[in-house]
Amino acid sequence: MVEDDALARQAADPGTPLATLQDLAAHHPRLRPAIAANPATYPDLLQWLGRLGDPDVDAALAARGRPTTTAEYPAVPAAPPAQEPAQEPAQEPAQEPAQEEPYTEVLPAASAPASPPPVIPPAAVTPRPEGPRRTSVMGRTGPGRPPAAAPPLGAASPGGPPTVAAPAAATPSGAAALGVGSDPDRGGAARRAWALVALAVVLALALVWALTQRSPDPGPTSAPTSGATAGATASPTAPDTAAPTTGAPEDGAEAIQAARETLSGLPAASSCADPAADAGVFDAFAAAAAPDGAWTDPADGDVVLGALTGLQDTCGAPHAVAVSDALADGSPAIVATLAAAPDWVTVARPAPPGAQQRSSFVSPSGNIACSLGGSATCTINDRTFADPATCGPGPVTLVVGLGGDARSDCAATPAAGNGTLEYGQSATSGRFACTSEESGVTCWSTLSGRGFTVARAAIQTF
**Number of Cα atoms under 13 Å in the Cβ half of residue 132:** 24
Q: Average the pLDDT over 389-398 and give the result.
A: 90
Query: Mapping DSSP to helix (H, G, I), strand (E, B) and coil, where does residue 369 land?
Result: strand
Highest mean pLDDT among 124-128, 139-143, 185-189, 434-438: 434-438
Is 20 in contact with 10 (CB distance < 8 Å)?
A: yes
Q: What pLDDT score was predicted for residue 126?
A: 43
H/E run at residue 426? strand 426-429
Helix, strand and coil content of the chain, in percent to the nearest 5, comes to 35, 10, 50
Which residues sit opposite 433 in a β-bridge? 428, 444
Mean of per-residue pLDDT scores for the chain: 75
Rounded to two decimals, what is the model's pTM? Answer: 0.43
CA separation for the pair 316, 449 (Å, rounded): 12
Evaluate if residue 385 carries a pLDDT over 70.
yes
Residue 84 confidence (pLDDT) above 50: no
> In this structure, are residues 285 and 331 in contact, taking their beta carbons and an 8 Å threshold?
no
Q: pLDDT-based confidence at 271, cuts 50/70/90?
A: very high
Furthest CA-CA distance within the chain = 146
Q: Is the pLDDT of residue 140 over 60?
A: no
The answer, yes or no, to whether residue 166 has pLDDT greater than 60, is no
Average pLDDT over residues 430-446: 96
Give the pLDDT score at 141.
41
For residue 376, what is the enclosing H or E element?
strand 376-380
Pairing of strands 376-380, 368-372: antiparallel
349 Cβ neighbours under 8 A, 6+ residues apart: 433, 444, 445, 446, 449
Q: What pLDDT was estimated at residue 343?
A: 84
pLDDT class for 306, splitting at 50, 70, 90?
very high
**CA nearest neighbour of 282 among 322, 233, 246, 242:** 322
What is the mean predicted confidence (pLDDT) over 288-309?
A: 93
Average pLDDT (40-46) is: 89
Q: Of residues 63 and 141, which shows the higher confidence score? A: 63
* Per-residue pLDDT at 161: 59
Q: Where are the alpha helices (DSSP H) in 273-395?
A: 275-289, 300-315, 317-326, 332-340
pLDDT at 413 exceeding the cut of 50: yes
**Mean pLDDT on 306-316:** 92
Predicted pLDDT of residue 238? 44
Q: Is 370 helix (H, G, I), strand (E, B) or coil?
A: strand
**187: confidence class by pLDDT, cuts 50, 70, 90:** low
Residue range 306-322: average pLDDT?
91
The C-alpha atoms of residue 398 and residue 443 are separated, in whole angstroms, by: 10
- The whole-angstrom distance between residue 438's C-alpha and the CA centroid of its chain comes to 73
pLDDT at residue 390, as a whole number: 80
What is the percent of the chain where pLDDT is above 70? 65
Give the C-alpha separation, 40 to 106, whole Å. Answer: 14
Contact yes or no for 453/460 (Cβ under 8 A): yes
Sequence-ordered list of residues with C-beta below 8 angstroms from that of 462, at least 6 positions apart, any chain? 406, 444, 450, 451, 452, 453
Nearest Cα neighbor of 15 from 190, 134, 123 is: 134
Please report which confidence band the pLDDT of residue 310 belongs to, taking 50, 70 and 90 as the band edges.
Answer: very high
User: Could you tell me the CA-to-CA distances from 95 to 98, 143, 312, 383 in Å, in that order?
Assistant: 9, 9, 74, 104
Per-residue model confidence (pLDDT) at position 456: 96
